[in-house]
Amino acid sequence: MKTVIVTGSGGLVGGESVGFFSEKGFRVIGIENDMRAIFFGEDASVKWQMRQQIENVPGYKLYPTDIRDIDALGRIFSSYESDIELIIHAAAQPSHDWATGDPVVDFDINAKGTLNLLEAYRKYCPKAVFIHLSTNKVYGDNPNKISLVEKETRWDIGKYCKYYEGGIDESMSIDDTTHSLFGASKLAADIYVQEYGRYFGLKTGIFRCSCLTGGGHSGTQLHGFLSYLMKCVITGTEYTIFGYKGKQVRDNLHSKDLINMFWEYYKKPKRGEVYNIGGGRANSCSILEAIDMCEAITNKILRTVYSKDNRIGDHKWYISDIGKFIGDFPNWSQQFNLGWILTDIYLELTRRIDASTE
């Protein structure tokens, strides 16, 4: 039976992958040990997602395995080796700030954990497709060298940098920049996945993502921008804006649109290919703009506090140019705009909050 292995199966992307590929007729093997609760506290736990998957996804098998355990990964892969057609690697330590407090654990999960998976892939199912969830943070703070102008609610491209009008493409340098420790560990993983494609001839794809979001996100202050922002508005929690006057810009992609990208890549894989992935300019917003949209949806006012110090390595402006992916996979198109995304987050968070108080 054709099988997909999904790491981080309880998270936003992993959870979306589990449901999608089950509906496509795959046997789904999830690897998830809820490290998110350890990183960010119980409010960020994905146990709710894990329970839903076990109850609702036919034939789903969950392994509470740590990707740092290469022997345990070997046992999982060897159990399904002849059937594995796809590996989606979405497990990670995802926070700049958390990595600073424990760089060794951050590296072991993001870099060494990825290498462990690549070795299991190469040994047990080398004909499969391997999709790696990377990040725009591999570019470090090089995006901050782009000339920007300050507008009323956001920073935007200056008149001398029209090359980036449609977003940042894969030609941006990863060198001579401050990555943050998280960015460095993710870059190491990114390059390893490229090399396993190019050196060993394996079908690996690297998706360098901007802000991924949706109703399945367990947002927290250190990770999950729109989900955490909406949660603060709903619950009346004070929200801290870190630097750049709250005008820093991100493009946002719904996890459903991302999983459809995975599907297209699976059907026509390449070897060690890199793609910048995000919602593009149409789905971009600053923090100030996002606050206004969340307040309009909830009919509530957010309490905010401003810290003039931005996070180290944080981007002032980042919009993804997804033209390379669209050129290679013209059957894909983006389905969900920013207003729909925020409404989806609001409805799902409200449902979960109501369920937790019953």
Assess contact for 303 and 348: CB atoms under 8 A: no
pLDDT exceeds cutoff 80 at 178: yes
As a whole number of angstroms, the distance between CA 88 and CA 17 comes to 8
Q: In the chain, pLDDT over 70 holds for what percent of residues?
A: 99
DSSP symbol at 179: -
Does the model's pTM come out above 0.75? Answer: yes
**pLDDT tens-digit series, residues 184-235:** 999 999 999 999 999 999 999 999 999 999 988 877 776 778 999 999 999 9
- What's the pLDDT at 224? 74
The terminus-to-terminus CA distance of the chain in angstroms comes to: 40
Percentages helix, strand, coil for the chain (3-state, rounded to 5) are 45, 20, 35
Q: Is the pLDDT of residue 357 over 70?
A: no
Contacts of 122 (CB under 8 A, 6+ apart): 196, 200, 202
Structure tokens at 110: 């993001």
Q: Using only C-alpha atoms, what is the Rg of the chain?
A: 19
Beta bridge partners of 309: none
Is the pLDDT score of 334 beyond 90?
A: yes
Residue 124 to residue 87: CA distance in whole angstroms: 12
Q: Which pLDDT score is estimated for 222? A: 66
The kind and range of the H/E element at 255 are helix 255-267
What is the domain count for the chain?
Answer: 1
Band of pLDDT at residue 358, cut at 50, 70 and 90: low
Q: Write down the pLDDT at residue 134.
A: 98
Exposure of 66 by Cβ count < 10 A (0-12 exposed, 13-18 middle, 19+ buried)?
middle
Contact assessment for residue 315 and residue 203, using Cβ atoms and an 8 Å cutoff = no
Average pLDDT, the chain: 94
Question: Which letter does DSSP use for residue 197 in this model?
Answer: H
Tokens describing residue 158: 């200056």
pLDDT at 263: 98
β pairing state of 249-254 and 211-213: parallel
* pLDDT, tens digit, 9 for 90 and up, residues 254-304: 999 999 999 999 999 999 999 999 999 999 999 999 999 999 999 999 999
Please give the average per-residue pLDDT across 314-338, as a whole number: 97
Quote the domain boundaries for residue 238: 3-357
C-beta atoms surrounding 103 within 10 Å = 13
| Cβ contacts of 244 within 8 Å, gap of 6 or more | 155, 310, 314, 316
Nearest to 240 by CA among 338, 300, 180, 311: 311
Q: For the domain that residue 205 is a member of, what is the CATH number?
A: 3.40.50.720
Q: Give pLDDT, residue 340.
A: 96
pLDDT value at position 354?
79
Residue 244's pLDDT band, with cuts at 50, 70 and 90, is very high
Within 10 angstroms of residue 97's Cβ, the number of other Cβ atoms is 17
Nearest-5° angle of CA 284, CA 285, CA 289? 160
Exposed/middle/buried for residue 285 (C-beta within 10 Å: 0-12, 13-18, 19+): buried
| pLDDT at res. 314 | 82
